[in-house]
Amino acid sequence: MSHLFSSYALGPLELANRIAIAPMCQYSANDGLATDWHMMHYGHLALSGAGLLILEATAISPEGRISPADLGLWSAAHQQALAPVVQAIRRHSPIKLAVQLAHAGRKASSAPPFEGGQALPPGQGGGWQTVAPSALPHAPTDPAPLALDEAGLAKVKADFVRAALRVHALGIEAIELHGAHGYLLHQFLSPLANRRSDQYGGSLENRMRFPLEVFDAVRAALPSEVVVGMRVSASDWVGGGWDIEQSVALAHQLKQRGAGFIHVSSGGVSPLQQIPLGPGYQVQFAQRIKAETGMPTIGVGLITEPLHAEAIVASGQADMVGLARAMLYNPRWPWHAAAALGAQAAAPPQYWRSQPRELQHLFGDTRLGQR
Ligand SMILES: Cc1cc2nc3c(=O)[nH]c(=O)nc-3n(C[C@H](O)[C@H](O)[C@H](O)COP(=O)(O)O)c2cc1C
């Protein structure tokens, strides 16, 4: 029996298998509004047979966008623009949905990667003034952010809550707070970006305070059936930065406060990072957090082979695997993995005839007698 294709209870959410489609920015929104690209992109990913689809980093405010083309959820119009995408998925797929809510902090106001990815100074190319824990730019040549004051912090927190309520109003069952990749919440955690001298900077407890306040505010605003988790970078890959020990401490805090999962990535806060890339290079961090906290854990990063994904779940290194690029390259990855592992994956009836003759049970027992 495949472990990768065993069902999983993510709190109240019943997932068909352990495959999560990791969040991927599409840089294809108009003023934060979802477009027909989102319908196409999420439409085909939703037919993949994965258990969970995590929608891209979705900005809680205009200034929280990575680029002017980021998806956002800061008004009723944004909720309305995303609704048809969610409804289409519901009509045609059993996949469970999450949205990643994000504020990019000092890494906001950049060109989309396929337009160069460079920082956009305020007023140039649609750029704006960024905000961050401290007035330190990400790279020395980037425009400096403004350090958030008390009112600024309160606004960010309120924006997270409002966006989370919109996710819930869309009928989406889970929220991933973006605490990774050098964006705002990670900037608070990492001593490389956070040089504050108030209660939000300095000690580990102080650096965790704002991300945990945001978590608490979002968790408190939603009914318990909505799963709220966090994506973290478990290491900055820079000496003196955020690391796995601090990540374990954060995970303990999140667990106590009712977090439903932790999605364990790494890096992104410093251009000085040295990342030893290789298959499953971040899974060790997920393993450590899962072993020490018992928190439902998603491992991610260069997991591309079905047998590797199976081994990660079977050995208990992580409860789920997150896949990003492999899902773009092959959006039917879960079907092929199910074929390789002798398991079953969901497919829409319109595609059932694609089932290979020698794999008559690939799309499940519902296929029997349908031809
Ligand atoms: C096109 C693209 C967009 C991405 N956008 C996001 C994002 O919105 N939020 C996020 O946390 N990570 C984002 N990532 C990182 C992925 O979620 C994932 O962690 C990373 O690609 C490593 O997994 P992989 O080796 O399976 O691709 C993105 C990656 C890609 C390739």
Q: Would you place residue 357 in the very low, low, confident or very high pLDDT band (cuts 50, 70, 90)?
A: confident
- Dist CA 258 CA 348 (whole Å): 35
Q: Would you place residue 18 in the very low, low, confident or very high pLDDT band (cuts 50, 70, 90)?
A: very high
324 ligand 1 Cβ < 6 A:
yes
For residue 238, the tally of other CB atoms under 10 A from its CB is 18
Q: Is 183 designated active site?
A: yes
Res. 365: pLDDT tops 70: no
Predicted confidence (pLDDT) per residue in 196-244, tens digit: 999 999 999 999 999 999 999 999 999 999 999 999 999 999 999 999 9
From 8, 42, 183, 200, the catalytic residue: 183
First to last CA, the chain: 26
Residue whose C-alpha is closest to residue 264's, from 238, 240, 241, 243: 243
Kindly list the structural domains of the chain, giving each domain's residue range(s) and its CATH number in brackets, ordered by start. 8-370 (3.20.20.70)
Res. 266: pLDDT tops 50: yes
Residue whose C-alpha is closest to residue 191's, from 212, 211, 207: 207
326 ligand 1 Cβ < 6 A:
yes
Give the SS3 label for residue 63. Answer: helix
- Dist CA 339 CA 169 (whole Å): 37
Q: Would you place residue 361 in the very low, low, confident or very high pLDDT band (cuts 50, 70, 90)?
A: confident
21 ligand 1 Cβ < 6 A:
no
Res. 368: pLDDT tops 60: no
- Dist CA 208 CA 204 (whole Å): 6
Q: Token digits for 116?
A: 């160069």
Q: Would the pTM of this model clear 0.95, i.e. be above it?
A: yes
CB 39 within 8 A of CB 84: yes
Mean pLDDT across the chain: 96
